[in-house]
Amino acid sequence: MKIDGRCHCGSITFEAEADPAKTVICNCTDCQALTGGAFRVTIPAESGTFRLLSGEPTTYVKTADSGTQRRHAFCPACGSPIYATGMGEDPKPYSLRFGTVRQREHFAPTMQIWTRSQHPWVRDIGSIAGHDGQPDSIHTRFGDAAPRSPSR
Ligand SMILES: [Zn+2]
Ligand SMILES: [Zn+2]
């Protein structure tokens, strides 16, 4: 399906074609560090369909233990990860980041990789107490640094 997306500040926008059935969770330790989260959810763009519509991402070349290099792109203003791509010839493969895709409610992961570095609580995330919004008790954990309502 046709998708589009943007970083948090909106300076970087893109469009692509993607198949929801190809959505993947990656639990590798590189994704944990690069996202600041426990895992990354990635949507592969169909070959040759990724198009940057606005903005100029900053890129970082990551070298894996295997020696494989991938170029990771993120917004220089807000830090949102946008994509990773290969170093070789065109058309390059583009891996898009779930949280930046506007149509993400249509995408659900169908595979997990690198579960050897998956955190045990991720496997059982439904058992962690949940709140529809943000209870006042969050302030006893974070004080003034408590998370705020999303801006959009
Ligand atoms: Zn941004
Ligand atoms: Zn990973």
Residues 42-76: pLDDT tens digits? 999 999 999 999 999 999 999 988 898 999 999 99
Strands 58-63 and 69-74 turn out to be antiparallel
Q: Indicate if the pLDDT at residue 144 is higher than 80.
A: no
CA 42–ligand 2 middle distance (angstroms) = 9
Confidence of residue 105 (pLDDT cuts 50, 70, 90): very high
CA 21–ligand 1 middle distance (angstroms) = 27
Residue closest to 98 by CA, chosen among 110, 90, 109: 109
- At residue 98's C-alpha, the angle toward residues 94 and 100, to 5°, is 90
Nearest ligand, CA 117: 2
CATH class of 2-120: mainly beta
Which helix (H) or strand (E) covers residue 108, if one does? none
Nearest ligand, CA 57: 1
Per-residue pLDDT tens over the stretch 110-128: 999 999 999 999 999 999 9
Nearest ligand, CA 118: 2
Cβ–Cβ < 8 Å for 6, 13: yes
Instruction: Report residues near ion ligand 1: CB below 5 Å.
Output: 7, 9, 11, 75, 77-78
CA 28–ligand 2 middle distance (angstroms) = 4
